[in-house]
């Protein structure tokens, strides 16, 4: 008998039934009301033909309804497939064809993108999630249904598919079980320290597990969930002030924007207890600015990846522990309590402490595998260990540091961008002979996606047309913000490989 | 991929390698040293023929070696069977024959009891654990072996058999998995709040999970483990003072003894941060006395049972939360974060809030079942819920209260005594016609086991001989401390059932 994702809701409804569960615009529901709605939505899903193991996708911005679906889908025995609203339609079409959901919950704003996905609307039942279109189909489903029995299978059963960009080839649907997500929830409870007085604002996208890890853990603690549809510094600060928000999980880029806006405006944001952040270390200037606004607030640095549900390590007492100062602020911390990590060479042998190697992870948070990709799954999980592809090292105190980006990855505004994927699209544009994609430092986004292209002889590239071409095929955040047209071939290393290091130096913004 | 019981040790050795792990008399080992010893003991077990799934029993008092076996046995892939040193030889013989271990670790002091167990020593390989006999066989095994690969199977695999007294019939071997025990460990981390500065003294018997729940959780936190062989108020206070112990898990009877001794002697016990206690609410007088000695120490009340690994509920902020005062001090708190509880009638339907019903539990902490007892397992786990047999109710805040003892159980000094088991033994004594066993209030033990007997006509019972007879068959703590000889038949209820209530009133000590 393992864990099951309906449990945190049922426990909260039993213990804290009359207390506030969600705040979203004018909407307020208690835990008891929320459980009733979830159980009825599960009934509606069953009426609509959803059976155990069926996938149900969501393409939507943050809302309390998205939150409810995190419980209603497991209650119905269904598998959730949260899609990334920032991807190009062609990318989401791929994920829909790959995961084959029977039903798709979608925001009105995302509806037009479905029309460019061939026959998708003929093969998948579509329900509009938000009330923009007047009568709301989601609410009608709840009203018209009766409470369903809890069909959550639990334990090792598949709970969700969470797509990650791939460095090569097609995106991978990470299969996470009920136990995977619940192990992550208790790790979050221990690491972050949520309790029944916590008030969490879902400000980062709910389709990413970076935000998702608060969904079950804050519910276990009996805290309150608030929502903004998408990150917007002004709206986030308004919500923090209006609802005395205590915790936010953001990437440093967002914290920077928030601190700048807080300095500009006049908000009472003293209720904040802790920022949880990840994906890259906090730049010194951002930290300095954030501490001016929130001098008494904790900053918890973590590292994770979708394949481990997602928390891997957390740096406790960031800025409070005298041991964690100076260079140690760049550490991602220590492994979760129920996790084992190793740093190994290419033969999976431990490297000496202090040396860089590949970070591998073992424990109950490790994914079941990649959907329909048994070969990559076997390779990634060989020997019973999750091979993260991240280069890392540990200091003498056991603190972990991410040494370098895996496989030529750029992190821009908290999103992972794989150079090879962008290069393959740029290279398709007529007249491009060679293309290289790389990141340059950027004050706001951490890194900015850039491209260097060598045209065919005699061709003058139309850069606006190139941008349109790329934008129609991949997500906007992956599109190069600067394209450098070269006359000389791309630089090579002594081994004859493309030298991105040389490119980054050549095109570095002057200080 | 689930959890595995070697993980907390390997994580501690990786993160806190040079730091102190265990203190036991003059013995000190760091986490790195401890891991080396454990891995070598696992090698020695393998050399001795222990293979995955083999049972290995332990009949011993508390020590760092007992602690090491909690990791060495899973490392070797073996299943631990901790036996109760307080049971009569016939009782332990039953458990050994039932669990069929290939190997038994035993303290010198317990060796003679093996001689009264028929051919047990011919069928089970016996290793003496403590060094009382000069050369130590356990240490020789470690010295003579090489480090073994970690064979811990993890997840749903059987990790241990933990015997509980049965109200009827034979004792039951509770089968707990790796995941069961690790789920309990993270619940303990969250509920108790251990961290790397915690220093835990194993003062309650390590064969009970009441103490065992600290073994994996304090290790996850990177805290220090200290040991006393068995509970002794003076020795415990000496250890608390010598090693700045921060946490103890005890039953109220032991806390009473500790507080009395602390008031008598002069100990510096100000390092104590929290007492975790369970099995019965704290008597007001005990709490008052304990607060005189430890005015700033927290008292965490919990409820659990072996079948749920063992934590079920915890009362947070005991004595600190203004909501938790008066009658609420008798509450056992709220369910663990990953647990669902219900209170149901005899048809497993929920009773209204506030009414008494049977407490049932669902979640990843629920046992695999009872060893070799599929029928009782199916009955106890019917519908996917653990039926605890405990009568309980919840108040309007969701706090849980144990309403009554199940099935005529007496709790004396923290041990459960089933009246029916004692009655059956007393009833076997020649000349006894009727026997009833019941508990009377006792200042030190909470309850005292008492018996009322009606002799056969004309027989004068030899009470010393009766005590000897009973003592040779069951554990000393189950033997009636007072036997009341009756001339009138045992009192009956209006329904014709034996009335223990009448007996308790009739024989109640005058106030």
- The predicted-structure confidence for B417-459, as pLDDT tens digits, reads as follows 888 778 878 888 999 888 899 999 888 888 899 999 999 889 9
What's the CA gap between B418 and A23, in Å, rounded?
A: 51
What's the CA gap between A223 and A200, in Å, rounded?
A: 7
Give the pLDDT score at B318. Answer: 59
- Total of domains in chain A: 2
Average pLDDT over residues B198-222: 96
Cis status, amide bond into B310, omega within 30 of 0: yes
User: Does any CB of chain B come closer than 8 Å to the CB of residue A14?
Assistant: yes
Please give the residue of chain A at the shortest CA–CA distance from B7.
A340
Closest C-alpha to B97, from B207, B206, B173, B209: B173
List chain B residues with CB under 8 Å of A186. 186-187, 190, 337-338
Among candidates B7, B16, B156 on the partner chain, residue whose Cβ is nearest the Cβ of A338: B7
List chain B residues with CB under 8 Å of A362. 1, 7
Could you give the dihedral angle defined by the CA atoms of residues A264, A268, A270 and A273, in that order, rounded to the nearest 10 degrees?
Answer: -80
In the structure, what pLDDT confidence band is assigned to residue B185 with cuts at 50, 70 and 90? very high
In the structure, what pLDDT confidence band is assigned to residue B319 with cuts at 50, 70 and 90? low
Reply yes or no on whether the pLDDT at A495 is more than 80: no
Give the pLDDT score at B278. Answer: 84
Question: Which residues 188-247 of chain B have a CB within 8 Å of chain A?
Answer: 189-190, 220-221
Closest C-alpha to B209, from B159, B246, B244: B159
CA angle A476, A258, A89 (to 5 degrees): 20
Give the pLDDT score at A498. Answer: 77
User: Does any CB of chain A come closer than 8 Å to the CB of residue B414?
Assistant: no
Among candidates A14, A17, A182 on the partner chain, residue whose Cβ is nearest the Cβ of B338: A182
Q: A145 to chain B nearest CA, in Å? A: 22
Which residues are within 8 A (CB) of B27 and not within 5 positions of it... i.e. 6 or more apart? B64
SS3 content of chain B, % helix, strand, coil (to 5): 35, 25, 40
A363 vs B186: CB contact, 8 Å cut-off?
Answer: no
pLDDT in tens, B359-393: 999 999 999 999 999 999 999 999 999 999 888 99
**For the ranges A425-434, B268-277, B388-397, the one whose mean pLDDT is highest:** B268-277
List chain B residues with CB under 8 Å of A335. 11, 15
Give the pLDDT score at B498. Answer: 77
What's the CA gap between A302 and A335, in Å, rounded?
A: 10
Helix B7-15, helix B178-192: angle, nearest 10: 50
In the structure, what pLDDT confidence band is assigned to residue A141 with cuts at 50, 70 and 90? very high
Pairing of strands B158-164, A103-106: unpaired
User: Does any CB of chain B come closer than 8 Å to the CB of residue A185?
Assistant: yes
Average pLDDT over residues B150-167: 90
A398 vs B189: CB contact, 8 Å cut-off?
Answer: no
Inter-residue contact B176 to B308 (CB < 8 Å):
no
Which of A337, A341, A368 has the most B C-beta neighbours within 10 Å, making it the best mutation to test the interface with B? A337
Inter-residue contact A260 to A51 (CB < 8 Å):
no
Reply yes or no on whether the pLDDT at A252 is more than 90: no
User: Does any CB of chain A come closer than 8 Å to the CB of residue B140?
Assistant: no
Q: Are A168 and A257 in the same domain?
A: yes
In the structure, what pLDDT confidence band is assigned to residue A404 with cuts at 50, 70 and 90? low
Q: Which of A323, A338, A353 is the last residue of a domain?
A: A338
For residue B434, what are the domain limits? Answer: 407-506
Please give the residue of chain B at the shortest CA–CA distance from A190.
B190
**Backbone φ, ψ for residue A464 (5° rounding):** -65, -40
- Find the length of chain B: 511
Reply yes or no on whether the pLDDT at A284 is more than 80: no
B364 vs A16: CB contact, 8 Å cut-off?
Answer: no
Which of B191, B221, B337, B361 has the most A C-beta neighbours within 10 Å, making it the best mutation to test the interface with A? B337
Q: Is residue A109 part of a domain?
A: yes
Q: How far apart are the first and last CA of chain A?
A: 59
Q: B48 to chain A nearest CA, in Å? A: 27
What's the CA gap between B172 and A111, in Å, rounded?
A: 59
What's the CA gap between A295 and A288, in Å, rounded?
A: 10
List chain A residues with CB under 8 Å of B15. 334-335, 397-398
Largest CA distance in chain B: 73
Sign of CA dihedral A341, A343, A348, A352: negative
Give the pLDDT score at B407. Answer: 55
CA angle A214, A216, A222 (to 5 degrees): 90
The distance of Cα A73 from the centroid of its chain, to the nearest Å, equals 19
ipTM higher than the 0.95 cut? no
Inter-residue contact B23 to B226 (CB < 8 Å):
yes
Average pLDDT over residues B101-118: 94
Q: Are A320 and A423 in the same domain?
A: no
pLDDT cut 90: percent of chain B above it: 68
User: Does any CB of chain B come closer than 8 Å to the CB of residue A97?
Assistant: no
Rg for chain A (alpha carbons), in Å? 23
pLDDT in tens, A197-246: 999 999 999 999 999 999 999 999 999 999 999 999 999 999 999 999 99
Grouping H, G, I as helix, E, B as strand and the rest as coil, residue B271 is coil
CB-based burial label for A319 (10 Å; 0-12, 13-18, 19+):
middle
User: Does any CB of chain A come closer than 8 Å to the CB of residue B19?
Assistant: no
List chain B residues with CB under 8 Å of A381. 1
Please give the residue of chain B at the shortest CA–CA distance from A333.
B15
Which residues are within 8 A (CB) of B436 and not within 5 positions of it... i.e. 6 or more apart? B419, B423, B451, B452, B453, B490, B498, B500, B503
Give the pLDDT score at A405. Answer: 58
CATH assignment of the domain containing A438? 3.30.300.30
List chain A residues with CB under 8 Å of B153. none
Among candidates A1, A335, A340 on the partner chain, residue whose Cβ is nearest the Cβ of B384: A1
Bridge partners, A248 (sequence order): A275
Q: B179 to chain A nearest CA, in Å? A: 8
Q: Is residue B59 part of a domain?
A: no
User: Does any CB of chain B come closer than 8 Å to the CB of residue A8?
Assistant: yes
A1 vs B334: CB contact, 8 Å cut-off?
Answer: no
A186 vs B337: CB contact, 8 Å cut-off?
Answer: yes
Inter-residue contact A170 to A366 (CB < 8 Å):
no
List chain A residues with CB under 8 Å of B186. 186-187, 190, 337-338
The distance of Cα A259 from the centroid of its chain, to the nearest Å, equals 22
What's the CA gap between A175 and A160, in Å, rounded?
A: 6
B364 vs A14: CB contact, 8 Å cut-off?
Answer: no
In the structure, what pLDDT confidence band is assigned to residue B328 with cuts at 50, 70 and 90? confident
Q: Is residue B39 part of a domain?
A: no
User: Does any CB of chain A come closer than 8 Å to the CB of residue B461?
Assistant: no
Question: How many Cα atoms occupy the beta-carbon half-sphere of B270 within 13 Å?
Answer: 2
Question: Which residues 345-384 of chain A have a CB within 8 Å of chain B?
Answer: 362-364, 366, 381, 384
Question: How many Cα atoms occupy the beta-carbon half-sphere of B346 within 13 Å?
Answer: 0
Ramachandran quadrant class, B102 (left: phi over 0; alpha: psi -120 to 50; beta: rest): alpha
Q: B19 to chain A nearest CA, in Å? A: 10
What's the CA gap between A172 and A307, in Å, rounded?
A: 10
Closest C-alpha to A104, from A112, A96, A94: A96
Reply yes or no on whether the pLDDT at B49 is more than 60: yes
What's the CA gap between A99 and B374, in Å, rounded?
A: 40
Query: How many CB atoms neighbour CB A457 within 10 A?
Result: 7
List chain B residues with CB under 8 Å of A398. 14-17
Give the pLDDT score at B419. Answer: 83
Grouping H, G, I as helix, E, B as strand and the rest as coil, residue A45 is helix
Which of A157, A364, A378, A380 has the most B C-beta neighbours within 10 Å, making it the best mutation to test the interface with B? A364
Please give the residue of chain B at the shortest CA–CA distance from A308.
B1
Please name the helix (run of DSSP H) or strand (run of DSSP E) that holds residue A345, with its range, or none.
Answer: none
Give the pLDDT score at B134. Answer: 66
pLDDT in tens, B238-262: 999 999 999 999 988 889 899 999 9
Please give the residue of chain A at the shortest CA–CA distance from B341.
A11
Q: A448 to chain B nearest CA, in Å? A: 36
- SS in 3 state form for B436-467? EEEEEEECCCEEEEEEEEEECCCCCCCHHHHH
B2 vs A364: CB contact, 8 Å cut-off?
Answer: yes
Give the pLDDT score at B463. Answer: 93
Average pLDDT over residues B466-470: 93
Query: How many CB atoms neighbour CB A487 within 10 A?
Result: 6
Which residues are within 8 A (CB) of B60 and not within 5 positions of it... i.e. 6 or more apart? B66, B85, B105, B106, B107, B110, B129, B130
pLDDT cut 90: percent of chain A above it: 68
Please give the residue of chain A at the shortest CA–CA distance from B1.
A364
Give the pLDDT score at A134. Answer: 66
Give the pLDDT score at B82. Answer: 98
In the structure, what pLDDT confidence band is assigned to residue A253 with cuts at 50, 70 and 90? confident
Inter-residue contact A337 to B189 (CB < 8 Å):
yes
Among candidates A7, A156, A398 on the partner chain, residue whose Cβ is nearest the Cβ of B16: A398
A7 vs B220: CB contact, 8 Å cut-off?
Answer: no
Size of interface A-B (CB pairs under 8 A): 103
Range with the lowest mean pLDDT among A226-240, B38-52, B434-448, B486-500?
B486-500
CATH assignment of the domain containing A151? 3.40.50.12780
A7 vs B182: CB contact, 8 Å cut-off?
Answer: no
Among candidates A337, A362, A398 on the partner chain, residue whose Cβ is nearest the Cβ of B186: A337
Question: How many Cα atoms occupy the beta-carbon half-sphere of A47 within 13 Å?
Answer: 15
pLDDT in tens, A44-68: 999 999 999 999 999 999 999 999 9
pLDDT cut 70: percent of chain B above it: 95
Closest C-alpha to A139, from A67, A225, A41: A41
Q: A5 to chain B nearest CA, in Å? A: 9
Q: Are A210 and A319 in the same domain?
A: yes
Average pLDDT over residues A320-337: 77
What's the CA gap between B60 and B86, in Å, rounded?
A: 10
CA angle A325, A330, A333 (to 5 degrees): 85
Q: Are A161 and A45 in the same domain?
A: yes
Inter-residue contact B429 to B437 (CB < 8 Å):
no
Please give the residue of chain B at the shortest CA–CA distance from A11.
B340
Q: Are A331 and A220 in the same domain?
A: yes
Please give the residue of chain A at the shortest CA–CA distance from B220.
A337
A337 vs B398: CB contact, 8 Å cut-off?
Answer: no
């Amino acid at each position: 008998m393992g864990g099951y994702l309906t449990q945190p809701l049922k426990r909260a409804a039993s213990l804290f039934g009359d207390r506030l569960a969600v705040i979203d615009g004018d909407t307020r529901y208690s835990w008891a009301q929320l459980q009733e709605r979830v159980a009825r939505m599960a009934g509606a899903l069953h009426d609509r033909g959803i059976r155990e193991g069926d996938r149900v996708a969501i393409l939507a911005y943050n809302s309390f309804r998205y939150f409810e679906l995190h419980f209603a889908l497991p209650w119905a025995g269904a598998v959730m497939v949260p899609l990334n609203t920032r991807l190009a339609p062609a990318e989401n079409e791929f994920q829909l064809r790959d995961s084959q959901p029977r039903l798709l919950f979608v925001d009105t704003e995302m509806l037009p993108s479905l029309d460019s996905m061939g026959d998708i609307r003929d093969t998948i039942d579509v329900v509009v999630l938000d009330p923009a279109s007047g009568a709301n189909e989601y609410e009608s489903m709840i009203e018209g249904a009766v409470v369903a029995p809890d069909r959550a299978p639990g334990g090792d059963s598949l709970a969700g598919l969470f797509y990650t960009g791939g460095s090569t080839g097609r995106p991978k649907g990470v299969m996470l079980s009920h136990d995977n997500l619940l192990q992550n929830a208790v790790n979050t409870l221990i690491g972050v320290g949520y309790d029944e007085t916590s008030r969490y604002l879902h400000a980062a996208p709910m389709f990413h597990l970076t935000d998702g890890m608060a969904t079950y853990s804050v519910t276990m603690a009996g805290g309150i969930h608030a929502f903004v549809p998408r990150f917007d510094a002004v709206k986030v600060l308004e919500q923090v002030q209006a609802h005395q928000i205590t915790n936010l999980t953001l990437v440093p880029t967002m914290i920077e924007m928030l601190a700048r806006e807080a300095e500009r405006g006049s908000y009472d944001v003293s209720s904040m207890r802790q920022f949880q952040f990840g994906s890259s270390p906090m730049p010194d200037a951002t930290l300095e600015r954030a501490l001016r606004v929130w001098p008494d607030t904790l900053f918890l640095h973590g590292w994770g990846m979708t394949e481990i549900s997602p928390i891997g390590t957390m740096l406790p007492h960031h800025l409070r522990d005298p041991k964690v100062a100076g260079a140690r602020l760049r550490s991602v911390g220590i492994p979760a309590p129920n996790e084992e990590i190793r740093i190994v060479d290419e033969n999976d042998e431990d490297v000496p402490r202090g040396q860089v190697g590949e970070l591998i992870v073992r424990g109950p948070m490790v994914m079941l595998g990649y959907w329909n990709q048994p070969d990559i799954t076997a390779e990634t999980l060989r020997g019973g260990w999750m091979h993260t592809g991240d280069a890392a090292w540990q200091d003498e105190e056991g603190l972990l540091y991410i040494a370098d980006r895996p496989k030529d990855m750029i992190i821009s505004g908290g999103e992972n961008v794989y150079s090879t994927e962008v290069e393959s699209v740029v290279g398709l544009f007529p007249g491009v002979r060679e293309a290289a994609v790389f990141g340059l430092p950027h004050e706001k986004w951490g890194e900015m996606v850039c491209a260097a292209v060598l045209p065919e002889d005699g061709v003058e590239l139309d850069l606006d047309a190139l941008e349109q071409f790329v934008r129609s095929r991949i997500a906007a955040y992956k599109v190069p913000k600067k394209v450098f047209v070269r006359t000389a071939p791309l630089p090579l290393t002594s081994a004859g490989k493309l030298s991105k290091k040389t490119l980054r130096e050549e095109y570095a913004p002057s200080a």
